[in-house]
Structure 1
Amino acid sequence: MPRSPLALAALATVAVPGLDAFDVRRPAQPGTDFDVAVVIDSTRRRWVVRAPQHATAGAALEAEVALIASLAAQTEAGSLPFAVPQPVGFAHLPEGGRAAVHAEIPGEPLRIETLLPGPGLAASVGRAIAALHELPTSLVEDAGLPVYDAAAYRERRQAEVDEAARTGKVPPGLLRRWEAQLEDVALWRFTPTVVHGDLSGDRVLVRDGAVSGILGWGDTVVADPADDLSWLLVGAAPDAADSIMEAYQLRRTELIDPHLARRAMLAGELALARWLMYGVRSGSDDVVQDAVGMLEDLDAHTRETADAENVSYA
């Protein structure tokens, strides 16, 4: 059963000695893996308390905690142009695990449909992700989080496609398309970077036309930087996506990756395969049907594009 806001406020007062809770509110967009509340103290400071709803979420929280202090130090040093949710206290939970409390980062969730081309917010998003990808990979290694080289990550993607194929629910044309890209060795020659691993509009906070914070670091890995860009290239208007990528490339010090955008688009497509497998594993017919419908739509779109460009994946 989800914890009530009052219960979460009580956890916050345990986690942060001296915190005098004056008011408590649910966030505008509560998560599905954590019970979350915003606690306002007597001085009107705002604090976020997060309590995991299950053991997997608790493990993700602990992974995040191990990394976040290093990220906060990078923010203080000026290497990251945004804030991260650094915990200031913890409260142990009766069922095991612990809740964490951090100061609320000012800002609103990014609405990707509002991104416009030019040097404004779109460019700020590109620079923020590029700064993340410039971080030393040792930060992730030292936190005990997964590290992949390019070959291992390609194999991981192949395994995802193989698993989805065994369901018989992925259109054959899509499978051939994915296989062709996974077999293109040149496409997978990239330098692994620190990757957030779960970026979305809810994770990216904006204020005054710039990225103010990034949340949810429990899935951070060293892997393909294209993964952090896929949701933007898939969801943003093409001219806004161009501004994001231009700002991103200008901020990166690594050599240009000629296949970055192509892998990012593939990652966006493979997210549908993962959604399908989530539905299969959880036994949710609604999720499976939703995933199948999106895969069929994607297959129709890619066939139309291939016909227009005279490309075959047979």
Structure 2
Amino acid sequence: MLRSPLALAALATAAVPHFDPTSVQGTSSAGDDRFQIAYVTTSDGTQWVVRAGLSTAAGAQMEQSDGLLRLLTKRVPFSVPRIEGIATTDDGTVVAVQPRLPGASLVWRELQPGSVIARSIGRALAAVHDVDPRAVEEAGLPAYDADAYRARRLATLDRAAATGHVPPGLLSRWERALEEVALWKFATCTVHGPLEGSHVLVDGNEVSAITGWEQAAVSDPATDFAVLSVLAEPDAFDTVLEAYAGARHDTIDPHLERRVRLAAELQRVNALMDAVSSGDDELVRRRAAALRRLEEHVQDDESLLPPAPGRRRMPEVEPAEPAPEVDPDDIEVVEFEDAGSDDETVEIPVARRPEGTTPEDSAADTGSPEDRAADEEPPDDQEPSAYPIDEGEPDDEK
């Protein structure tokens, strides 16, 4: 249930002793937001964020994330929220009060390719994914290995299919990806959960803070890139991913980008299930329509399929002309002495490389077809595509 900003400020006084609000600023909320937010200033000039969970699950996640936030403070190179106090209303709404962190939030669609900010985002995500997973487990948050995470995805897809709102073409597409064993051979790690632009605060050109840790877990690193890959320009996303790969302590797995595409598409399934759970028939209708549009968009798309093994076309060779017949009487016999002297030099013929090539060029040509395919640039039409969940939906959700 939505409350007025003044009501949220009043609830904050129950969460934090001696909380003395002097001004409050509300924020707009969409029908499917998970939290309602207000900004409060107290008599000593301190600015606070008051967050109220709009569902029982959202409130529980907010409470549970508090333990992880305390552990993350010294483990990441940016600020994270600190919950100063929590209160629960008579109707079960959980309200948390946090000091407001400095910095301006981002809009993914405005992220520039090659920018310092994009690289900073990549490094920040690498720092999150390098956090020891035991910190997440210690905080009591979900932890999955790759097989368990895939099973969870399949279970969600099965529930969505039972609603009758998921087009059969998408079901086949996603089931094929979820059943591809090679795609799910990776090491899970600490993740934030789908990272939205509103979660990232920037001071200057560097990430100063990341908020919104309610869906943190040990799971697939692709999860954190899902929203970014949809809303940002492809070149900007590539900048983030390049910086991320360079900053990770571990080597990223070769199928990460394909799972990012899959995670981005499966966000629509999560959105549908949230709408079904809310009982909002109009929202369910919108989510179902978005899935139908997605099916049309990806009808001929093969970005979730495994890359085809490299095949090198052999050059066409003209058939050699038959050798002319040789008369034995025309063959000249040459007599020569043995080259037994130590100071004589024997020249060994060396096969010459074509002009303009280097030894490295020749060596590179001996690799396997798979190795050569890995070095080829992907065609432009394989860039990740953006699939808006709803027409007219804002850039980032709370």
Please indicate, yes or no, whether the TM-score normalized by the shorter chain is above 0.5: yes
**More moved, 174-183 vs 85-94:** 85-94
Contact 2:222 2:257 survives alignment (8 Å) = yes
CA distance in 1, matches of 2:227, 2:178: 20
Q: Whole-Å Cα distance in 2 between the matches of residues 283 and 15 of structure 1?
A: 30
**Aligned-partner Cα distance in 1 for 2:171–2:186:** 23
SS in 1 for 2:300: helix
Q: Contact 2:87–2:94 (CA<8 Å) still a contact in 1?
A: yes
Alignment of 1:277-288 (within 5 A): 277-288=273-284
Counterpart residue number, 2:149: 153
Q: Any idea what SS the aligned residue of 2:41 has?
A: strand
Which amino acid letter does the alignment assign opposite residue 219 of structure 1?
Answer: Q
Aligned to 1:50: 51
* Distance in 2 (alpha carbons) for counterparts of 1:288 and 1:18: 43
Q: Deviations over 1:224-276 (max 9, x none)?
A: 00010111112211110110100110110112310001001001111112222
Structure-2 change in CA distance of 1:306 and 1:119 (3 Å): closer
Relative to structure 1, the CA distance from residue 195 to residue 173 in structure 2 (aligned partners, 3 Å threshold; closer, same or farther) is same
**Aligned residue number for residue 77 of structure 1:** none
Aligned twin of 1:6: 6
Does structure 1 conserve the Cα–Cα contact (< 8 Å) formed by 2:193 and 2:217?
yes
- Pick the aligned partner of 1:271 from 251, 254, 267: 267
* Structure 1 Cα separation of the partners of residues 155 and 272 of structure 2: 14
**Match of 1:50, as an amino acid?**
R
SS in 2 for 1:152: helix
Structure 2 CA distance for partners of 1:18 and 1:172, relative to 1, 3 Å? closer
State the shift of 1:184 in Å: 1.1
Matches within 5 A, 1:283-302: 283-302=279-298
Over the residues paired in the alignment, what is the CA RMSD in angstroms? 2.5
The aligned residue for residue 359 of structure 2 is none
Answering whether residue 197 of structure 2 is matched by residue 201 of structure 1, we say: yes
Q: Matched residue pairs, number? A: 305
- Is the 8 Å Cα contact of residues 123 and 243 (structure 2) preserved in structure 1? yes
Q: Which residue of 1 aligns with 2:178?
A: 182
Whether the 8 Å contact between 1:108 and 1:205 is mirrored in structure 2 is yes
Change in CA separation of 1:102 and 1:286 when aligned onto 2, cut-off 3 Å: same
Matched, 1:236 2:237: no
Q: SS of the counterpart of 1:87?
A: coil
The residue identity in structure 1 corresponding to 2:269 is A
Partner residue, 1:102? 98
User: Partner amino acid for 1:69?
Assistant: R
* Per-residue deviation, 1:167: 2.9
The one-letter amino acid of 2:278's match is S
Look up the match of 1:64: 65
1:47 corresponds to which letter in structure 2?
W
How far the C-alpha of 1:175 sits from its partner, in A, is 1.7
Aligned twin of 2:124? 128
Structure of larger gyration radius: 2
Indicate the residue corresponding to 2:26 in structure 1.
26
Deviation at residue 94 of structure 1 after TM alignment: 4.1
Deviations 1:141-179 (A, max 9, x none): 011111101011111111122222233332222222112
Deviation at 1:189, TM superposition (A): 0.7
Stretch moving more, 120-129 or 157-166: 157-166
Q: Is the 8 A contact 1:198 1:228 kept in 2?
A: yes
What are structure 1's unaligned runs of at least 5 residues? 75-79
36-45 vs 213-222, greater mean Cα deviation: 36-45
Q: 1:109 and 1:256 mapped to 2: Cα distance?
A: 27
Question: Percent identity at matched positions?
Answer: 46
Asked whether the 8 Å contact 1:64–1:216 carries over to 2, the reply is: no
1:186-226 deviation line (CA, Å, top 9, x unaligned): 11011111111242122222232322222121211110000
**Structure 2 CA distance for partners of 1:165 and 1:53, relative to 1, 3 Å:** closer
1:92 CA displacement? 5.1
State the 1:11 CA deviation: 3.5
Deviation at 1:6, TM superposition (A): 2.7
Aligned residues of 2:130 and 2:248 also touching (Cα < 8 A): yes
Q: Is the 8 A contact 1:171 1:299 kept in 2?
A: yes
Counterpart of 1:244, as a letter, is V
TM-score when scaled to structure 1?
A: 0.88
Larger helix percent: 1
Distance in 1 separating the partners of 2:272 and 2:152: 17
TM-score, normalised on structure 2?
0.70
- 1:81 equivalenced with 2:82 (yes/no): no
Tell me if the contact between 1:206 and 1:212 (Cα under 8 Å) persists in the aligned partners. yes
